[in-house]
Amino acid sequence: MKSPDYHITWLDAIDSTNSEAARHYATAADLDVWVATFQEAGRGQQQNRWESEANKNLLFSIFFRPSKLRAKKQFLLSQLVSLALCNSLQEEGVKAVIKWPNDIYVGKKKIAGILIEHYISGTHVLTSIAGIGLNVNQSVFHTAPNPTSLFLETNRLFELPLLLQKILDNVKKYYLPINSKKLQEQYLSHLLFYKQWADYRSSEGILFKAQIVDVSSTGELVLMDEVGDNHNFAFKEVFCINK
């Protein structure tokens, strides 16, 4: 399989890069990228808004047309994008971890978020759009609850196009080809609270101690409780309450 090249489109203020990528659904090629200087309706998980000052951060979406990726393994795309971000930050001297399922944290502060939208045909992933918001040169945040940025972590300003290319190179490294065993191992090694006891609250309000022992191929968090039983939780079904 020939390795596709990135085609990057830089945009001014738009609604969101995921929406722009979706508008090109019929003609977009594998690994096409849309980048915006500002998003008027940038989204996070569960329709949360993403705060970003114009021309300060990386707001972009990657269009995937994966070859023979089964729908039940769609979480691999979330894993590879998360790892690409962690590795790119590490190359800049910033140690990052993944807060399940795909928020990127430095210490206790959030530096990046990912929103992936899949289009399934039968048993396979037909296309996916991964929207990424990475805080880069912004130093003041007004509404985000616990943000940080590369500038706040390093006291350096970054060239956005150069940083974007580093991230895309890391994405490509994991994507071509997708190695599910390698991705799973590295994802778990970067996962916040992996194999550590922590306090959790279920969506029904039940408090309990558990440790992360795995993440399923469909992205469910696997927690082991204090008596050794494993429990699977989908997104928003459980919350870690450790500060």
Query: Using one digit for the tens of pLDDT, what is the confidence trace for 131-152?
Result: 999 999 999 998 888 999 999 9
Confidence check: pLDDT of 40 > 80: no
pTM: 0.92
Q: What is the pLDDT of residue 50?
A: 65
47: helix, strand or coil: helix
The verdict on residue 2 lying in a domain is no
Q: Which single residue is written with the structure tokens 């210490």?
A: 107
The verdict on residue 218 lying in a domain is yes
How many other C-beta atoms are found inside a 10 Å radius of the C-beta of residue 189? 12
Same domain? For 150 and 227 the reply is no
Same domain? For 172 and 201 the reply is no
pLDDT in tens, 60-74: 999 999 988 999 999
Same domain? For 180 and 217 the reply is no
Q: Tokens for 234? A: 């989908």
pLDDT in tens, 96-139: 999 999 999 999 999 999 999 999 999 999 999 999 999 999 99
The verdict on residue 131 lying in a domain is yes
The residue type found at 190 is H
The CATH number of whichever domain residue 231 belongs to comes to 2.30.30
Going by C-alpha positions, the residue among 111, 123, 116 that lies closest to residue 58 is 111
Q: How many residues does the chain have?
A: 243
Domain count, the chain: 2
Same domain? For 108 and 146 the reply is yes
Domain-terminating residue out of 148, 168, 189: 189
The verdict on residue 85 lying in a domain is yes
Going by C-alpha positions, the residue among 159, 73, 63 that lies closest to residue 117 is 63
Mean pLDDT within 73-93:
97
Domain of residue 231 covers 197-240
Cβ atoms of residues 9 and 117 within 8 Å: no
Same domain? For 107 and 20 the reply is yes
Same domain? For 140 and 235 the reply is no
The CATH number of whichever domain residue 58 belongs to comes to 3.30.930.10
Same domain? For 220 and 176 the reply is no
Same domain? For 120 and 235 the reply is no
Q: What is the pLDDT of residue 44?
A: 52
Same domain? For 183 and 221 the reply is no
Going by C-alpha positions, the residue among 143, 138, 123 that lies closest to residue 44 is 143
- At residue 4 the predicted structure's pLDDT band, cuts being 50, 70 and 90, is low
Q: Tokens for 163? A: 């940083």
Same domain? For 177 and 230 the reply is no
Q: What is the pLDDT of residue 73?
A: 94
Mean pLDDT within 6-25:
94
Phi-psi map region of 81: left, alpha, beta (phi>0 left; psi -120 to 50 alpha): alpha
Sheet strand arrangement including 103-106 = 7-11, 32-36, 58-64, 124-134, 109-121, 103-106, 97-99
